[in-house]
Structure 1
Amino acid sequence: AHRGYDELLAIAGKLQRAGIAVGEIITAGTPAFPCAAEYSGFSASGFLHRVSPGTVIYCDATSLAQLPGEFGYRPAALVASRVVSHPRADVITCDAGHKTVSADAGVPTCVVLGHAELEPLAPSEEHLPMLVGNEAVPKIGDVLFLLPRHVCPTVNNFDDALIVRGGAIEALEKVTARGREAPLVGAAFGREAVLTRT
């Protein structure tokens, strides 16, 4: 990663020598931000350097696996799910399919907090089957807390979030990232396009 930052500084230097001011450079999403934070070239560069690790705000299973443990990250967004069936001795099903926990990071889509013996399988739209280990099997109606592998699109699946502190519900907050894309009807279909509802 540092070699790439060396090249970035060389480009910024060329721009500055050409009379183009470089006031700020933003690097590094969540996986690479520790490398950017320790790269000494940015502090002596003369421009403002920022990192943009968005996933660390909520944290997810992927980030916890990738980021150094000494950073002390903990999950801040979980999905509450309920066990809805026990179709076989070695399988339970909960009500958290890929419309709930994003499947874009692949299978398993999540980790079940406090239940290392449960192995999430491929979800359907509404349901998530899980292989059960030799431990005590959760009963129908039990609540499971799921830590998504990719939290960003998972959070975007919900209108509201429960804010929990110390095991008690403190507030209900709107997920303000939802519904942010305006339709591009004019640009996509021409100015004379008219939408009708049937």
Structure 2
Amino acid sequence: MNQEHWYKLKTPEHIISPSLLVYPERILQNIRTMIDMAGGTTNLRPHIKTHKCAEIIALQMEQGIHKFKCATIAEAELLASCNAPDVLLAMQPVGANLNRFVSLTKNFPDSQFSTLVDNKTTCDRIAAIAEKNNITIAVYIDLNVGMNRTGIVPSSEAIGLYKDISENSFLSIQGLHAYDGHIRNPDPASRKIACDTTFEKVEALKEQLLAAGLPKPIIIAGGSPSFPFHCRRNDVVKSPGTALLWDCGYGDLFPEMKFIPAAVLLTRILSKPKAGILCFDLGHKSIAPEMAFPRVKFLTLEHGKQIGQSEEHLVVEYDDLKVLEVGECHYAIPKHICPTVAKYDSLLVVEDGQVSKEWKVAARNQKISI
């Protein structure tokens, strides 16, 4: 297959559209790039929210990655069923998920589970359910370092929470978790300054904890945009996610990063309703619809402008209809791959220009069995 057209299928006529194609050699290249940037696997804890797929977990484990991060109980269960030794649920468990988390620890004793907390009320509830089940639950304190989505601001309150956890016999304090997803400046130098400035708060908190005689915290920091900068820190665990499959959203924002697209949408022209308009079968149900246009980067359509989308349709203005026919196959990289993967039951695996197998998106839903 021509390297320029690496994404194309030799015989696409029998493949349903829309479909999400994945390319194992490119995924493996991204995994190796990730490991190389991190200086090995010791301080690497990739997030599986992007792919939710057992086969991609296996690819990572074959490369020596054994610590993982996830967002749902289903993703945690998937990791445990893949024999992942170390699983962090990076979503504070509340409501029914408290009991589900305990069930995970009982059903998969060979995996070490941990989770996040950011307030004393939830901490007390986790401790109570641990005591009831005569187990110890490992926790990290989730820090709000500027995204204002979850976490506790690095402060005396955070120190008090850390101390409370360290003194509770049913909890095991592990460290600090700091997700800086708000840092997205496309200029690498400016992004590094923002990342380093934000991380100073985490380092200051760590020093305060040590000065207070509390256990030394493991620090887990960052996502894909800040990954290159956290890789320069020796004593920090890095947790990229999107980097495994990459997308045109991050690719356009951060062209200096060496990750490559490893997932491509196969789509077809549904209709040419009038001159200058094409309609593709890429509606809200097929790609993440929360981004502004363009929502995909066409690899086979050079000068189209995406102007509308509904449940089943993507409408594109185009200025040369003579070479394009209804039913014609096209390829596009999603702007946001993580929620796009969740639209599909399975990923179609492409090897040597052919669909060779399917990989189930096993943790697509909120529940597998627990």
TM-score range, shorter chain: 0.7 to 0.9
1:28 to 222, 225, 234: 222
1:115 to 291, 298, 301: 301
Go from structure 1 to structure 2 and tell me whether the alpha carbon gap of 1:92 and 1:15 turns closer, same or farther (over 3 Å shift): same
Q: What is the total number of aligned residue pairs between the two structures?
A: 174
Asked whether the equivalents of residues 31 and 66 of structure 1 are also in contact (C-alpha less than 8 Å), the reply is no
Higher relative contact order (CA 8 A, sep 6+): 2
Asked whether the equivalents of residues 111 and 120 of structure 1 are also in contact (C-alpha less than 8 Å), the reply is no
1:72 to 258, 261, 264: 258
- Following the alignment from structure 1 to structure 2, what is the Cα–Cα distance between the partners of residues 95 and 29? 32
Letter in 1 for 2:355: I
Residue 53 (structure 1) aligned with residue 240 (structure 2): yes
Look up the match of 1:4. Answer: 198
- Following the alignment from structure 1 to structure 2, what is the Cα–Cα distance between the partners of residues 160 and 121? 28
Post-superposition offset of 1:50: 1.6
| Higher normalized helix content (fraction of residues) | 2
Unaligned runs of 5+ in 2: 1-194
Asked whether the equivalents of residues 275 and 321 of structure 2 are also in contact (C-alpha less than 8 Å), the reply is no
Residue 159 (structure 1) aligned with residue 353 (structure 2): no
Please, which moves more after superposition, 75-84 or 172-181? 172-181
Does the residue aligned with 2:338 lie in a helix, a strand or coil?
helix
Asked whether the equivalents of residues 289 and 295 of structure 2 are also in contact (C-alpha less than 8 Å), the reply is yes
Kindly, what percent of the aligned residue pairs are identical?
29
- Following the alignment from structure 1 to structure 2, what is the Cα–Cα distance between the partners of residues 179 and 157? 10
Residue 15 (structure 1) aligned with residue 202 (structure 2): no
Look up the match of 1:127. Answer: 313
Post-superposition offset of 1:21: 2.0
- Following the alignment from structure 1 to structure 2, what is the Cα–Cα distance between the partners of residues 108 and 68? 17
- Following the alignment from structure 2 to structure 1, what is the Cα–Cα distance between the partners of residues 218 and 302? 44
Q: TM-score, normalised by structure 2?
A: 0.44
Please tell me the root mean square deviation across aligned C-alpha atoms, in Å.
Answer: 1.8
2:276 to 80, 85, 90: 90
Unaligned runs of 5+ in 1: 183-198
Q: TM-score, normalised by structure 1?
A: 0.80
- Following the alignment from structure 2 to structure 1, what is the Cα–Cα distance between the partners of residues 221 and 321? 44
Alignment of 1:36-51 (within 5 A): 36-38=230-232, 42-43=233-234, 48-51=235-238
Post-superposition offset of 1:105: 1.8
